[in-house]
Amino acid sequence: MYRLYYNPGSANLAPHMLLKELGVLHELVLVDQPGGGHLQPEYLKLNPNGRIPTLIDGDLVLYETAAICLHLVDRHPEAGFAPAVGTNERAEFYKWMFYLANTLHAELITYFYPHRLADDGAATAQVKAHAEARVGVMLDLIEEHLAKRVGGYLLGERFSAADPYLFMLSRWTRMMGNPARNRAHLSRFQQTMLARPAVKAAFDAEGLGEPFV
C-alpha cells in the first residue's frame, strides 16, 4: 500500500491522479502546509526539503513529483503509462516529464513564492509578473504542440504519466491574467482530463471544488 503526503491541490495532485488511474491501494496523509506542517521535524525526516509531496512505498521514501510519477510508471508497467524503453516515443515522454518538472513547474514555484527571490514589495511584484509572463510563453509552446498532435494528450492519442503532471500545472494558472484555459487546445486537454473518473476521484479525495481549471 502506498502512502502519499499531500496538501489539497499541491504538487501531490499529479502522483495522486496517477495512483487513482492505476487503481492501486493508497492512503493519503494530510500535511498542513498553510500551518507549516511541511516544516515540522517529523515531515522533514521524510523530505528534508520541506516540500510536498512525498511517497512511501514500503521501505522507499521518495520525494520530487516527477520522480514519484516515474516510479509509479515503472512499478506498474502493465498500465502502459509510458511508451516502451528505448523508443522515440519514450524519449518524447522523458522530454515532457523533464520540461514540466524543471521548466514549467520551476517557473510556477517562482510565481507562487516570489518573495524568496526579492527583498521588497516592488521587487517581489516584479519577480511575480516576470514569472507569470514566462509561464505564458511556456503555455503557448505547449498549446502549439497540442495543436499539431491528433488525440489531445501530450503524446497524442496515448495517455501517459506526463498528462496528469501537465494538468496539475495548468490548473495552477487559473488565477493568472491569461490562464491555460484561454488556449483552445489546452482547454480541451483540461476538459478531457476532468472527464477521466480517476481525476474526479482524486479531486474528490483532496476536497477540490470549482473552479477546477
Query: Any contact of residue 152 with ligand GSH (CB under 6 A)?
Result: no
Near ligand GSH in 88-107, by CB under 6 A: 105
71 binds ligand GSH (CB under 6 A): no
Report the alpha-carbon angle 174-179-185, nearest 5.
115
Judged by CB under 6 A, the residue of 20, 26, 38, 181 near ligand GSH is: 38
The only residue of 5, 10, 131, 159 in contact with ligand GSH, by rule CB under 6 A: 10
Task: Tell me the Ramachandran region of residue 208: left when phi exceeds 0, alpha when psi lies from -120 to 50, beta otherwise.
Answer: beta
Q: Does residue 170 touch ligand GSH according to CB under 6 A? A: no
Indicate whether 11 belongs to the interface with ligand GSH (CB under 6 A).
yes
**Edge-to-edge strand list for the sheet holding 26-30:** 26-30, 2-6, 54-57, 60-63
Given candidates 22, 46, 52, 162, which one binds ligand GSH under the rule CB under 6 A? 52
CA atoms within 13 A on the CB side of 49: 8
Part of the chain binding ligand GSH (CB under 6 A), chosen from 58-66, 138-146, 147-155, 194-202:
58-66
CA 198/CA 16 separation, integer angstroms: 9
| 100 within 8 A of 15, measured Cβ to Cβ | no
- 139 within 8 A of 132, measured Cβ to Cβ: no
Minimal distance, residue 31 CB to ligand GSH, in Å: 8
Which residues make up the interface to ligand GSH (CB under 6 A)? 10-11, 33, 38, 50-52, 63-65, 105, 109
